[in-house]
Amino acid sequence: MIRPYYSPRQLTRMLRLAPGSLSRWQRLGLFPRLPRYGWADIARARCLRQCEQAQLSPLKLRHSLQALGERMPELTDPWQEAGLSVIGRRLEVHYGGVYMDALTGQMRLPFTPPAVAPAPAAASAQAKAEEAERWFTFGLSLETEPGLRPQAIAAYQHCLELDSQFASAHINLGTLRYHEKDFAAAEACYRAALEVDPNYALAHFNLGNVLDETGRLDTAILSYLEAVRLAPGYADAHYNLALAYQRQGQHRRAVPHWQQYLGLDRTSPWAMHARTQLKQALQRDVLHLVNRDSA
């Protein structure tokens, strides 16, 4: 997996930080001043955001980190080596199976009373889904810049680690793999999307493209047919299906799909090509009928 890095602007946007948060943390010595950031920095920024939301003052945060360092000198960088989180208005560390208040050293058993157990689980599931949505949106924003496509791939992968049922993330990841000509990976992504949602027309269409690209034209046609069944107004699926039929010599079957396409797109350069193909398909069909009748 390619390790992603993010600019300060990308990090701010991804975590939806308040304007100036990074600069303020850097002035306080709580966050590094770097041209790009990795996963460990994301975890630190997320924790600092929680501190601000909990109104944990920077002074108390620094005292907590200092006390933690004195109590656990083996932790050279607690941001990376331990799990830090905010409970109430205090910093908690999870290290070596122990939950402890970073400032006082008071330990806490990782136990939740049964009466309230479902509520945190539901809240955690919702937070996870929201986090997955943010990573998906971030991946979309990176896709537009070719130089950031490795980071877009990593963003979609992280989204799917949080929510394996995120069908659109499977689709977008598959498309990036397709552009890399990693057709096996792309096919796996599209099939994963269809396991989540068998009625996803785009997944059927993209799977058809992979099957076509890898020489499986018969099964590609089946995928295109399913795409147009689910979405009759899917112009690109009609186009590719008509083209596939013509490559098989099935010109009569291609005709209605060229016509469907031209009913949806009349002006683009692809429409001009479709008109030419439709004319040729009709001519070949007439020739086929004449030759058959004269035989």
The answer to whether residue 11 scores a pLDDT higher than 80 is no
Cα(170)–Cα(187) distance, integer angstroms: 10
User: Is 22:12 a contact under the CB 8 Å cutoff?
Assistant: yes
User: Is 275:259 a contact under the CB 8 Å cutoff?
Assistant: no
Share of the chain above pLDDT 90, in %: 26
pLDDT in tens, 170-190: 999 999 999 999 999 999 999
Average pLDDT, the chain: 80
Cα(101)–Cα(92) distance, integer angstroms: 5
Give mean pLDDT, residues 138-165. 83
Long-range contacts, stretch 242-250, CB < 8 angstroms, 24+ apart: 242/274, 242/277, 242/281, 243/277, 244/208, 244/212, 244/217, 244/220, 245/221, 246/277, 246/281, 247/217, 248/217, 248/221
- Going from the N-terminus, what domains does the chain have, and what CATH number goes with each? 8-111 (no CATH), 124-196 (1.25.40.10)
pLDDT in tens, 76-112: 777 766 667 777 677 887 776 667 777 877 776 544 4
Q: Which amino acid is at 240?
A: N
**Burial label, 257 (beta-carbon count in 10 A; 0-12, 13-18, 19+):** buried
Share of the chain above pLDDT 70, in %: 84
- In angstroms, the Cα distances linking 204 to 6, 49, 211, 225, 243 are 33, 41, 10, 9, 16
pLDDT in tens, 231-248: 888 889 999 999 999 998
* pLDDT given for residue 1 in this prediction: 39
- In angstroms, the Cα distances linking 215 to 46, 189, 212, 242 are 47, 19, 5, 16
Cα distance from N-terminal residue to C-terminal residue, the chain: 61
What global pTM score does this model have? Answer: 0.60
* pLDDT given for residue 219 in this prediction: 96
**Polymer length in residues for the chain:** 295
Question: DSSP readout, 165-193?
Answer: T-HHHHHHHHHHHHHTT-HHHHHHHHHHH
